[in-house]
Chain A
Amino acid sequence: QEQLVQSGAEVKKPGASVKVSCEASGYRFVNYDINWVRQATGQGLEWLGTMNPNTGNTRYAAKFQGRVTMSRDTSRSIAYLELSSLKSEDTAVYFCAKVGDGSSPLSYLYYLDLWGQGSLVSVSS
């Protein structure tokens, strides 16, 4: 059974960094891009970026360029999201999600078929 299991809640001070993990099981980790999406309270879903676990290549949303780093440990099938220079506006639930079959930014098809349970990141002084 395919599954993404994320790390637990984090509380950080403004200016600090946070690293969230996402462990994949039940499928071949390196075959499907991992995306990161967040949702602040009362707000909609917001895409942070995507990573190819096979090559390590990343594509980040312009808003987060310079502050976000996506990485992976292929030996353990774990993807990581690191966000630096945290602000109170970064308080949100962060989700990892796997792309579905056939998804590619170069094609007409790109969707997220499996999501982690979410990791709450709270930023407060």
Chain B
Amino acid sequence: QSVLTQPPSASGAPGQRVTISCSGSSSNIGTKTVHWYQRLPGTAPKLLIYNDNQRPSGVPDRFSGSKSGTSASLAISGLQSDVEGDYYCAAWDASLNGLVFGGGTKLTVL
């Protein structure tokens, strides 16, 4: 089991908005910032969101992140087939003294 909890799958029609949740605890999300990674088939993970809601340069604004308490969310609007892949949340865990990931959410565009 992963320290951070994500739904195993999410889906939406083209053009729609989808959100992916990530639940943790006071030792990780509750006190540390959350980041999100996208892994498209056959590629390395790519940073999508850092510091809860910041986008690295080059990441389009249809990706957005938010956090409240010990939970975080990634929202993707204007769904297109090019975003189909796996999405992972992560945060440093102060109790485990290491980086922890969610189990990943497979996004399908219907």
Rounded to whole Å, the gap between the CB of B90 and the closest CB of chain A is 8
Bound complex: CA of A88 vs CA of B101, how far in Å? 22
B13-48 contacts to A, CB under 8 A, are 31-33, 35, 37, 39, 44-47
Say whether A111 contacts B101, CB under 8 Å.
no
The interface bits of chain A over 105-122 (1 if a CB of B lies within 8 angstroms of the residue's CB, else 0) are 100111111111110000
Q: Taking chain B's interface residues, is the majority helix, strand, or loop, or is none over half, making it mixed?
A: strand
A62-B96, A114-B47, A116-B44 known, 10 other contacts, Cβ within 8 Å:
A37-B101, A44-B102, A44-B103, A47-B100, A59-B97, A108-B33, A112-B99, A115-B46, A115-B47, A117-B44
Return the contact of B98 from the options A49, A113, A118 (Cβ within 8 A): A49
Given the known inter-chain contacts A47-B98, A110-B99, please indicate yes or no for A115 contacting B32, CB distance below 8 A: no
Q: Does A52 make an interface contact (CB < 8 A)?
A: no
Bound complex: CA of A4 vs CA of B56, how far in Å? 18
Rounded to whole Å, the gap between the CB of B54 and the closest CB of chain A is 9
B-side contacts of A114, CB under 8 Å: 47
Q: Taking chain A's interface residues, is the majority helix, strand, or loop, or is none over half, making it mixed?
A: strand
How big is the A interface, by class? Answer: 20 to 34
Given the known inter-chain contacts A105-B92, A109-B33, A115-B44, please indicate yes or no for A46 contacting B50, CB distance below 8 A: no
Given the known inter-chain contacts A100-B50, A111-B50, please indicate yes or no for A44 contacting B99, CB distance below 8 A: no
Binding site for B on A (CB under 8 A): 35, 37, 39, 44-47, 49-50, 59, 61-62, 95, 97, 100, 105, 108-118
Pairs across A and B, CB under 8 Å, 15 listed = A35-B99, A37-B101, A45-B104, A49-B98, A61-B98, A62-B96, A95-B45, A108-B33, A109-B32, A109-B51, A110-B92, A112-B45, A112-B47, A112-B90, A112-B99
Say whether A110 contacts B32, CB under 8 Å.
yes
The interface bits of chain B over 36-71 (1 if a CB of A lies within 8 angstroms of the residue's CB, else 0) are 010100001111001100001000000000000000
Say whether A47 contacts B44, CB under 8 Å.
no
Given the known inter-chain contacts A115-B44, A116-B44, A117-B44, please indicate yes or no for A46 contacting B101, CB distance below 8 A: yes
